[in-house]
Amino acid sequence: MRIGALGQVTGVDPETIRYYERIGLLPAPTRRANGYRAYGPAHLERLAFIRHCRALDMPLADVQRLLHLLDHPLDDCQDVDRLIDTHLAHVQGKLQSLQALARQLEQLRGRCHGQHATAECGIMHELVAAAQGENCVCHGSSVQAPLKNMWRPESQTG
């Protein structure tokens, strides 16, 4: 099958398939007389595997490692477990921070109702407050340094 068909079957853009080949994730297939790539079932299987891992948001480096383990099925599967554990921890961490972020944005959004000039907008005031080093609805205090007299010519930092 040609690259377009493979792309349709797997749901992977042909450009992306070529990209996978370029970075060594998918083995280069044989070519026809006209130079077109000719894929077989092995390629389809491998690409579907890659696509599934990507759907699970695994980085391509991890996918590469899993493919290697697939090619060497006698190795200990602890490597697989560790990889999935690490990835899961990563995803969970991201989830936590995203939840906190959503809460912050919701609070921020609640600062403004109706229409008025930007100068009176609660959201803007809130965002600017952070630049002043005050406590904001979002973060405790993002700028802790004393903003006293760091404007002197040079080098007397205290």
Positions 52 through 91 that interact with DNA (CB under 7 A): 54, 59-61
Nearest by Cα to 106 from 137, 81, 85, 134: 137
Residue 35 lies near DNA (rule: CB under 7 A): yes
- Residue 1 DSSP SS3: coil
Among residue numbers 38 through 57, which ones bind a copy of itself (CB under 8 A)? 40-41, 44-46, 48-49, 51-53, 55-57
Among residue numbers 2 through 21, which ones bind DNA (CB under 7 A)? 2-5, 7, 13-16, 18-19
Report whether 138 contacts 128 (CB < 8 A).
Answer: no
CB of 116 to DNA, least distance (A): 28
Site string for a copy of itself, 66-95 (x = CB under 8 A): x--xx-xxxxxxxxxx--xx-xx--xx-xx
Report whether 139 contacts 97 (CB < 8 A).
Answer: no
> Per-residue b/e over 25-45, b at no fewer than 16 CB within 10 Å?
bbeebeeeeeeebebeeebee
Residues that bind DNA (CB under 7 A): 2-5, 7, 13-16, 18-19, 33-37, 54, 59-61, 154-155
